[in-house]
Amino acid sequence: MSKPIIYFLVLVLLGAGIYFLIVKKNDNPFGATEAGFTVKDTAAVYKLFIATNDNLSVTVERKSGSNWMVNGTMKALPSTVDMVLTTLLKQEAVAPVTQAAYEPVIKNLASEGVKVEVYGKDNKKMTVFYVGGPSANGNGTNMLMEGAKMPYVVQTPGFNGSLRARYTANITDWRDRAVFDVPASNLKSVSIQYADKPLNSYVFTKNGDNYAVAGDPTVTTKLGALNKAKAGVYAGYFTKVYCEGYLNGIDGMDSTIKTSDKLGTIDVESTTGEKQHADIYWMNLNRRSKNKLTGDDVIPDKYDADRMYAVINGGKDTVLIQTLTFFKLLRKSYEFFTESTPDAAPQNNNVLIKNGRSQMKGTIH
């Protein structure tokens, strides 16, 4: 082998060595201590603690696999967890803040910064950083590593804007929004009780592939056989039934519920003994109601056609729910049967429940 080739190979090896020792060891050109905002192995993240300067904080912990808990007592919303983990994985320092921006950025971080602590298994601290406001050009976010002196502009590839809103300490942004979540295979019973129409109330039970619907005898004794197809479809409606959002802490919400008309209650029990209860209230017509001028053929005119209220978790939480989602659950006892006498049910009784609200004329009021 000639000397030039040997020299060339030596240079290649030296270059590769320098690359792996310097560049690959620390992909961040600014240094991990000053600008190590990227968490490369989010699968190793087991806990997040996020706090603001106004004493708002939240702790989110991985319990198993993709199951996370908020403050140790509530299920976490998977989409929020995924969003934060993805942000941790992709965010990277673009450049230090400019000299002109340094002082105002430091003041902003001190007064309004959000502290983010990331922990691995066994409560081992992985990283801590502070999230400030948007960068001067609005395309990034000012952040500061704990113990560092220089704040940096941080971005995620393909996104121009502030990342601050993603690091929320508001517990309602983290809580899972499932009101009911019982798969058909684990469903034991459902009780629907109407406040003003008790004749429409019933208890739906499931035992394997066998179903039963118990309602007021004056109604059910006039009906034919239970429609197993309808019952099977209905049993699948209680998986991942979500609310639109939590209303806890809104001024006047308690008074609003007290003065709202109650539609009824929904009780769901699983084969494992887990019980879920919801009190359902109509939302009065308001200036945002879409049916204020046009009306709705299902909802009484004095109520909002799109949304209602629900009180869940033993009265601890008030949530906003959508009629489109919950009307599938709120059936009448006679709808589960193949036949009805003219005075017991409307002629469209045989329409499958899965067709939803479009076939629900007259089923609620």
Between residues 135 and 219, which one has the greater pLDDT?
135
Beta strand pairing call for 303-312 and 178-180:
unpaired
pLDDT (tens digit per residue) in 348-357 = 333 333 334 4
Between residues 355 and 147, which one has the greater pLDDT?
147
Whole-number Å distance between alpha carbons of 52 and 44:
25
Q: Quickly state the pLDDT bin for 290 (edges 50, 70, 90).
A: confident
The answer to whether 304 and 296 have CB atoms below 8 angstroms apart is: no
114: which strand partners?
131
Mean pLDDT of 162-176: 96
Residue 347's pLDDT is 36
Residue 276's pLDDT is 96
288: which strand partners?
none
pLDDT (tens digit per residue) in 51-101 = 999 999 999 999 987 899 999 999 999 999 999 999 999 999 999 999 999
Mean pLDDT of 143-152: 96
Under 8 Å CB-to-CB from 244, ≥6 apart: which residues?
Answer: 177, 307, 319, 320, 321, 322
Residue 13's pLDDT is 47
Residue 201's pLDDT is 96
Q: Is the pLDDT of residue 168 over 50?
A: yes
CA angle 27, 117, 130 (to 5 degrees): 75
The answer to whether 119 and 126 have CB atoms below 8 angstroms apart is: yes
Whole-number Å distance between alpha carbons of 197 and 209:
29
* Amino acid identity, position 164: R
pLDDT (tens digit per residue) in 325-352 = 999 999 999 999 865 443 444 333 333 3
276: which strand partners?
268
Mean of the per-residue pLDDT values of the chain: 85
Mean pLDDT of 200-225: 92
Pick the closest to residue 283 from 267, 268, 296, 300 (CA basis): 300
Neighbour count for residue 274 (Cβ, 10 Å): 12
Q: Quickly state the pLDDT bin for 358 (edges 50, 70, 90).
A: very low
Residue 288's pLDDT is 76
pLDDT (tens digit per residue) in 237-284 = 999 999 999 999 899 999 999 999 999 999 999 999 999 999 999 999
Neighbour count for residue 293 (Cβ, 10 Å): 6
Neighbour count for residue 121 (Cβ, 10 Å): 11
Q: Is the pLDDT of residue 231 over 50?
A: yes
Between residues 17 and 146, which one has the greater pLDDT?
146
Q: Is the pLDDT of residue 304 over 50?
A: yes
Q: What percent of the chain has pLDDT over 90?
A: 73
Pick the closest to residue 109 from 168, 150, 78 (CA basis): 150
Residue 295's pLDDT is 55
Whole-number Å distance between alpha carbons of 43 and 177:
24
Q: Quickly state the pLDDT bin for 221 (edges 50, 70, 90).
A: confident
Q: Which three-class secondary structure state does DSSP give residue 300?
A: coil
Q: Is the pLDDT of residue 30 over 70?
A: no
Whole-number Å distance between alpha carbons of 321 and 355:
20
CA angle 354, 359, 363 (to 5 degrees): 100
Q: Is the pLDDT of residue 225 over 60?
A: yes
Neighbour count for residue 335 (Cβ, 10 Å): 25
Whole-number Å distance between alpha carbons of 196 and 199:
9
